[in-house]
Amino acid sequence: MKNTIAIVGRPNVGKSTLFNRLVGQRKAIMDNQSGVTRDRHYGYGDWIGKHFTVIDTGGYVHGSDDVFEESIRRQVKLAIDEADVVLFMVDVEAGMHGLDEEFANVLRRYQGKKPIYIVGNKADTNARAHAAGEFYALGVGDGDIFTISSQSGSGTGDLLDAVVSHFEDPWEEVQDEGLPKIAVVGRPNVGKSSLVNLLLGEERTIVTDIAGTTRDAIKTRYNAFGNEFILIDTAGLRRKTKVKEDIEFYSVLRSIRAMEESDVCIVMLDATRGIEAQDVNIIALADKNRKGIVILVNKWDLIEDKETNTTKKIEEEILEKIAPIAYPPIIFTSVTTKQRVHKAIETAIQVYANKTKKIPTSQLNEVMLRAIEEHQPPSVKGKMVRIKYVTQLPTHNPVFAFFCNLPQYVRDSYVRYLENRLRENFGFEGVPIGVIFRKK
């Protein structure tokens, strides 16, 4: 990435608030509880014609034994390495803190290698702005301390003027249009972040054995082995009755929003637990939003005493529980042993191709009118339904319009028959398709 800004600092100084202001939308989760942001979180912004990427990071805590805080420290350092400009945020209301001094020691190794600005947040009054002078004692940073209020936006214009001066040319933001957006979704602790990290070949997101580690949905552009797409790692979804904290509530919303924005959902299941009610809910939600679906049964290496027909039995169990949804491919994998991981991605890419597939009208009519001739719509109230013509509509998902004399008399069973013939002849594995009837 070019023109990248990393926002760093100790917990609860307002980093996510500034991030949201710079990207122009409420993307990062904000809460008064410290340590809310755990992973690096990316967004895009622009200022005076220059586009940039902003990285929000977790609060840096030195010397803690907490598993999350250790992971956050690694993530912060990765963000600094990626950045072209570093914004070191401090809290002028609270004043100098020991953690500010500890973090300044980390930043000194980058001094002179990339621009570093101390940003004094919560400078809502002149007195607080003047008090920011004490942070010069940290001995890091380029030039003056920028005093801002990330909540109100005061002072952020001057800050951005300085930041974008380091960006040589206006950067045309890499457009994601036309690239598949694949969301990795599922219950907590099924291996979603481990899958993303394996694909990207780096510790892109924090992975622990504690359920619910990922709180923000994280987008990454993936380009390897001839495949290019946007990969979205999401927070684990839980039933609403189990969402007790505000933070977790917003994480669930973030996951749902990421699912809604995606083209294809890789729904991960835990092979050791089988398909549970929440897995069914997730698949149903993806189907309701008309997304392509790939079901990934992870941790397959932990299943002992596997027999020849074990996968078939599990497939049947999954399809029985998610009925009438019958179109998703099911892949058995192990992220730990890398078993069939690339097959999962290749399948997701194929599902996207199926989702965007356009069938020529002539071919569609040749095949489907023959199928209709073989099995005519049943008569209703003594009236016969005559289907004359079929075409695919110019929609984001495959939708087929059948033109007939009496569309109101077509039964659901016949709709399913036509859908089955469409899948049988044209594929569409992993994709929900629509069949509608219009009067000729």
34 is in an annotated binding site: no
Distance between CA atoms of residues 95 and 222, nearest Å: 41
60 is in an annotated binding site: yes
301 is in an annotated binding site: yes
Distance between CA atoms of residues 50 and 3, nearest Å: 9
Q: CB-based contacts of 237: which residues, under 8 Å, 6+ apart?
A: 185, 186, 187, 188, 252, 255, 256, 278, 281, 282
16 is in an annotated binding site: yes
Give residue 48's region: left, alpha or beta (phi > 0; psi -120 to 50): left
329 is in an annotated binding site: no
139 is in an annotated binding site: no
430 is in an annotated binding site: no
263 is in an annotated binding site: no
299 is in an annotated binding site: yes
237 is in an annotated binding site: yes
155 is in an annotated binding site: no
Q: CB-based contacts of 204: which residues, under 8 Å, 6+ apart?
A: 40, 196, 197, 218, 220, 233
122 is in an annotated binding site: yes
43 is in an annotated binding site: no
39 is in an annotated binding site: no
107 is in an annotated binding site: no
Backbone phi, psi, residue 365, to 5°: -70, -40
59 is in an annotated binding site: yes
3 state SS of 53: strand
427 is in an annotated binding site: no
Among 7, 43, 3, 4, residue whose Cα is nearest residue 170: 3
* Strands of 24-122, DSSP E: 41-47, 50-56, 85-91, 116-121
13 is in an annotated binding site: yes
Residues 295 and 275: beta-carbon distance below 8 Å: no
190 is in an annotated binding site: yes
Distance between CA atoms of residues 437 and 440, nearest Å: 9
The Cβ of residue 66 has, within 10 Å, a number of other Cβ atoms equal to 10
113 is in an annotated binding site: no
192 is in an annotated binding site: yes
236 is in an annotated binding site: yes
Q: CB-based contacts of 186: which residues, under 8 Å, 6+ apart?
A: 192, 236, 237, 267, 268, 269, 279, 282
Residue 84 tokens, joined: 């072209």
254 is in an annotated binding site: no
12 is in an annotated binding site: yes
235 is in an annotated binding site: yes
189 is in an annotated binding site: yes
Distance between CA atoms of residues 44 and 46, nearest Å: 7
The Cβ of residue 309 has, within 10 Å, a number of other Cβ atoms equal to 10
241 is in an annotated binding site: no
* Strands of 76-122, DSSP E: 85-91, 116-121
Element spanning 287, H or E:
helix 277-288
Give residue 14's region: left, alpha or beta (phi > 0; psi -120 to 50): left
382 is in an annotated binding site: no
Residues 247 and 31: beta-carbon distance below 8 Å: yes
267 is in an annotated binding site: no
17 is in an annotated binding site: no
Burial class (CB in 10 A: 0-12, 13-18, 19+), 253: middle
Q: State the binding site.
A: 9-16, 56-60, 121-124, 186-193, 233-237, 298-301
Q: State the binding site for GTP.
A: 9-16, 56-60, 121-124, 186-193, 233-237, 298-301
